[in-house]
Amino acid sequence: MNKSAIAVCAFLGVIWGSNFIFVKMAAAFISPLQITLLRVLFGFIPVLIYAVFTGAMRREHCKHAHHFLVMSLLATALYYFAFAEGTALLDSSIAGMLGGAIPLFTFLCAWLFLRSERLTRLKTLGIGLGFLGIIVVAKPWSAQGGIDPKGIIYMILGSLSVGCSFVYAKRFISPLGLPPVALVTYQIGIALGLLTIVTPLHGIGAVFDDTRAWVGLVFGLGLLGNGAAYLAYYFIVDAVGALAASAVTYIPPVIALLIGFLLGEPVTASAWFAIAIILAGVALVQLSGNQGAGRPAAKGI
């Protein structure tokens, strides 16, 4: 991997890893659905500008609008909403750790819906380790009730949604040969339209009463976390391939855990153990076969 690709991987890891604390800050002022709407809005702006500048969009792409609709739901609207709900209910460090399990759900979806994926012993071990890590995070045996189970469920649903989006993209989007930038633009744009319809706007301006909250939402989650990160991710895929690009998934949960620790969240020894075995599980699944072959879905964390 060349120096440019390494630098972009580091950028993505830091940006996606810090997304959870930005969601947490914004959740003190507006609802998770409103956070999702604003995140998608400000993420759409740089992507649209880049797509127009490069001439990636074509009128003939409209015939694939049904595929873009599915991707907008799985890889953007439902995914971000579930993660926003989960992060609002959990410590940002815990939410970030659970976000690191996305590749496990991606493989499970691929195994269920794609005939080309086989469940080997190594992958089975990896999935088992990953879910063991989730159990350690959730601590169902604890009588203190420190972890909100609804938050855990929302994070799992978000990971499952984006996992399904990768499978859908591999089966229906990759064969179309569309420019990645065009796909991202259609996907985010449709998601923005859907979210605008269903999101109550009353009180949404409250987030702009707090400088840290709106700066994190607009720049951290939107312009960087969605817009710039999408474009950077496809740079990595084009430069080193999908399998090597998947290495970036190891960075965000560690960054999220460190940020939570530095901000005073209760990061215990069991949390470090949990993130270690989740990432070990992800590594086993990824190293035992390239489930990311083909054009990936547009994603963020």
- Both tokens of residue 300? 């963020």
- Alpha-helical regions (H) of 75-138: 78-89, 92-99, 102-113, 121-138
Report pLDDT for 188.
Answer: 94
**Residue 150: pLDDT over 80:** yes
- Measured at the CA of 87, the angle between CA 75 and CA 299, to 5 degrees, comes to 20
Report pLDDT for 105.
Answer: 85
Cα distance between residue 80 and residue 38, in whole Å: 11
**Residue 296: pLDDT over 50:** no
Q: Which of 157-161, 220-224, 281-285 has the lowest mean pLDDT?
A: 281-285
Cα distance between residue 111 and residue 195, in whole Å: 31
Percent of the chain surpassing pLDDT 70? 86
Cα distance between residue 237 and residue 295, in whole Å: 8
pLDDT tens-place string over residues 12-65: 888 889 999 999 999 999 999 999 999 999 999 999 999 999 999 999 999 999
The model carries a pTM of 0.87
- Both tokens of residue 29? 């002022």
Report pLDDT for 292.
Answer: 43
Report pLDDT for 189.
Answer: 96
**Residue 71: pLDDT over 90:** yes
Mean pLDDT to the nearest integer, 60-87: 95
Report pLDDT for 226.
Answer: 83
Give the C-alpha distances (Å, rounded to integers) separating 89 from 27, 84, 209, 244, 261.
Answer: 9, 9, 22, 33, 17
Mean pLDDT to the nearest integer, 251-270: 88
**Residue 68: pLDDT over 60:** yes
Q: Which of 8-12, 129-133, 203-207, 281-285 has the lowest mean pLDDT?
A: 8-12
Q: Which residues contact 215 (CB under 8 A, 6 or more apart)?
A: none
